Amino acid sequence: MNFILINWVKYYTKEAMKTLKLITIGSAIVITVVCIKYRPVYKVTISGETIGYIENRELIEKKIEKYIDSTEGNIAFREIAVLPEYEFKLVNRDKNVNNQDVMLAIENLTTTTYKFYAVTSDGEQKAVVSSKEEAESIINEIKTDLNKDVDLKLGIVEVFKENKSEVSNKETATNILKEFKVAKVTEYENKKAEEAKKKAAARAKSFASVATSAPTGNLNGLALAIPVNGTVSSRFGSRGGSRSSIHTGLDICTSSGTGIRPVAAGTVVYSGYKGSYGNLLIIDHGNGVQSYYAHCSALYVAAGQQVGAGTTIAAVGSTGNSTGPHLHLEIRINGNPVNPQNYIY
Ligand SMILES: [Zn+2]
């Protein structure tokens, strides 16, 4: 009985071993065939889109992390909206497997933000450069020789951009700022000139209408002669001393009693005492031109009388509002006093 049993067990063990051997061999064949034809990889997808196949998941994850965290150059930060997903797969050995494809896809899906420096004027960005040092150097250069009264209010601000194309090299940025400086300085100088002009105009206006009224009478052909030799003591348009208003004539200082000749031939239209003028002669020369001779000590001609250029018409004196002997000569064109020195002396 025992013998039979032992033989039976032996028989079946032998059969089992045979089967196991067959399974093992079969499996080995299958695995070998699979390994020859296929290999294990990771399929990398982003938002469901296949971007490539890689062998080493850990390696690619590290590479991506390093890429995203990079701050080289002017990179401020990088962002990738979605991270890749990995799926373990056996793929045909012919399938192209490489890290470059995946990295390229990652780069295309990444937004890089760069940090630059803008040179500002009164908060307004004028030029953008790569480094703070460049911005500082430009400001220093612009400030050199800058008129102290022109404050460009220069400053530096950090700017973040996704595009490198708006960044200038130092030379270009310096030129932009130089042009801006020139424009600002010109603007300042024009403004100053305008103010000076306005001031001058206001000053000229204070000379009253006498200074601004252009001669409208015709002096053509009318040669005006010096009425008396002497020293000019007060010019037309002057102010000051005891004078309360603008001087409407020319004062010629000489000794009392000196003979006065008319500046040109004409007709006496006034001969008499007239307020602050004292003894006054007015001669009409035609064409709207009249001459006044004031403060005279004596008047030798009467109204209505024709006088020649060489006639002695009056004598120098100090009558009326006068502090010493002199001739106050006035030339009027259409009633407006003009500067006698434009025509005589
Ligand atoms: Zn005078």
pLDDT, tens digit (0-9, with 9 covering 90-100), for 271-302:
999 999 999 999 999 888 999 999 999 999 99
Find out whether 309 and 225 touch, Cβ atoms under 8 Å.
yes
C-alpha 205 – ligand 1 centre gap (Å) = 20
C-alpha 128 – ligand 1 centre gap (Å) = 68
Find which of 35-39, 61-65, 210-214, 241-245 is predicted with most confidence, using mean pLDDT.
61-65
| pLDDT over 80 (residue 215) | no
C-alpha 281 – ligand 1 centre gap (Å) = 14
Angle at 209 between CA 205 and CA 212, to 5 degrees: 65
The least confident of 1-5, 52-56, 112-116, 333-337 is: 1-5
| pLDDT over 70 (residue 240) | no
C-alpha 238 – ligand 1 centre gap (Å) = 10
Burial class (CB in 10 A: 0-12, 13-18, 19+), 119: buried
Find out whether 333 and 284 touch, Cβ atoms under 8 Å.
no
Q: How far apart are CA 166 and CA 19, in angstroms?
A: 76
Q: In 3D, which of 317, 341, 311 has the Cα closest to residue 253?
A: 317
Find out whether 87 and 42 touch, Cβ atoms under 8 Å.
yes
C-alpha 212 – ligand 1 centre gap (Å) = 19
So what's the pLDDT on residue 337? 92
C-alpha 329 – ligand 1 centre gap (Å) = 7
C-alpha 199 – ligand 1 centre gap (Å) = 27
Find out whether 128 and 158 touch, Cβ atoms under 8 Å.
no
pLDDT average, residue stretch 324-333? 94
So what's the pLDDT on residue 241? 59
C-alpha 235 – ligand 1 centre gap (Å) = 8
Find out whether 327 and 294 touch, Cβ atoms under 8 Å.
yes
C-alpha 277 – ligand 1 centre gap (Å) = 8
C-alpha 342 – ligand 1 centre gap (Å) = 16
Indicate yes or no: pTM above 0.75: no
- Tell me how far the alpha carbon of residue 215 is from its chain's centroid: 44
C-alpha 252 – ligand 1 centre gap (Å) = 8
C-alpha 247 – ligand 1 centre gap (Å) = 6
Residue 214 carries which DSSP code?
A: P
C-alpha 240 – ligand 1 centre gap (Å) = 12
C-alpha 246 – ligand 1 centre gap (Å) = 10
C-alpha 224 – ligand 1 centre gap (Å) = 18
C-alpha 331 – ligand 1 centre gap (Å) = 12
C-alpha 330 – ligand 1 centre gap (Å) = 8
Number of CB atoms found within 10 A of residue 208's CB = 16
Residue 230 carries which DSSP code?
A: S
Please give the single-letter amino acid code of residue 310.
G
- What's the pLDDT band for 332 if we cut at 50, 70, 90? very high
So what's the pLDDT on residue 223? 67
Share of the chain above pLDDT 70, in %: 91
Q: Where are the beta strands (DSSP E) in 207-288?
A: 231-234, 250-253, 259-260, 266-273, 279-286
Q: Which residue has the higher pLDDT, 11 or 262?
A: 262
- Tell me how far the alpha carbon of residue 250 is from its chain's centroid: 49
Burial class (CB in 10 A: 0-12, 13-18, 19+), 54: buried
So what's the pLDDT on residue 211? 38
Number of CB atoms found within 10 A of residue 275's CB = 9
Q: How far apart are CA 131 and CA 120, in angstroms?
A: 14
C-alpha 340 – ligand 1 centre gap (Å) = 12
Tokens of 228: 């008396």
Tokens of 212: 């601004």
C-alpha 251 – ligand 1 centre gap (Å) = 5
Average pLDDT, the chain: 87
Q: How far apart are CA 131 and CA 84, in angstroms?
A: 34
| pLDDT over 70 (residue 178) | yes
- In the chain, what are the domain boundaries? 2-108, 114-185, 231-342
pLDDT average, residue stretch 6-21? 85
Q: In 3D, which of 334, 328, 330 has the Cα closest to residue 215?
A: 334
Q: How far apart are CA 261 and CA 281, in angstroms?
A: 11
Residue 317 carries which DSSP code?
A: B
Q: Which residue has the higher pLDDT, 15 or 119?
A: 119
C-alpha 255 – ligand 1 centre gap (Å) = 15
User: What element of type H or E holds 291?
Assistant: strand 289-296
- What's the pLDDT band for 1 if we cut at 50, 70, 90? low
| pLDDT over 60 (residue 243) | no
So what's the pLDDT on residue 31? 85
C-alpha 274 – ligand 1 centre gap (Å) = 14
Domain over 231-342 is classified CATH 2.70.70.10: yes
C-alpha 312 – ligand 1 centre gap (Å) = 20
